[in-house]
Amino acid sequence: MLRIRGTVGDMPVDLTVEMDESDWARLGTQLGVPVQENKPLSESSAKPGPSRNDAVWEIAQELLRKAGHMSGPDLLGQLEGLAGSTAAGKRLMVRMRHSANVKVESHGDAPEYHWVE
């Protein structure tokens, strides 16, 4: 599920979009995230295939990488929409804070998240 919250002009928007695995794969492809094919159980290795959470995490990282940097509130808003809830967006934000590719700087009231190669 993908949730988008915000405003269009003065009107509030709260949109929920149901997405299956093929929808997530297409979105990942458009963002340049490599797609891994799921094999049937008889052909799969001992390691499980990517889950929806992995796909959301890859898209979240790609979002910050393409932006270069975002303020904490802006990033949280994007992650909430991507993950489908405030709690899931906050979990992604914590995971991002601990990622080796993300540097967090304190700027007054809000932190600034920077993508580092």
Residue 81 belongs to domain with CATH number:
1.10.10.10
**pTM for the complete prediction?**
0.57
pLDDT-based confidence at 17, cuts 50/70/90? confident
pLDDT (0 to 100) of residue 44: 46
Structural domain contains residue 55? yes
Which amino acid makes up residue 100? Answer: A
Q: When comparing pLDDT for 43 and 98, which is higher?
A: 98
**For residue 98, what are the domain limits?**
2-33+51-115
Structural domain contains residue 42? no
Structural domain contains residue 45? no
Structural domain contains residue 82? yes
Number of domains present in the structure of the chain: 1
Structural domain contains residue 99? yes
- Mean pLDDT across the stretch 20-24? 77
pLDDT at 50 over 60: no
What b/e sequence results for 103-116 when a residue is b if at least 16 CB atoms lie within 10 Å of its CB, and e otherwise? Answer: eeeeeeeebbbebe
Q: Contact at 8 Å (CB) between 35 and 50?
A: no
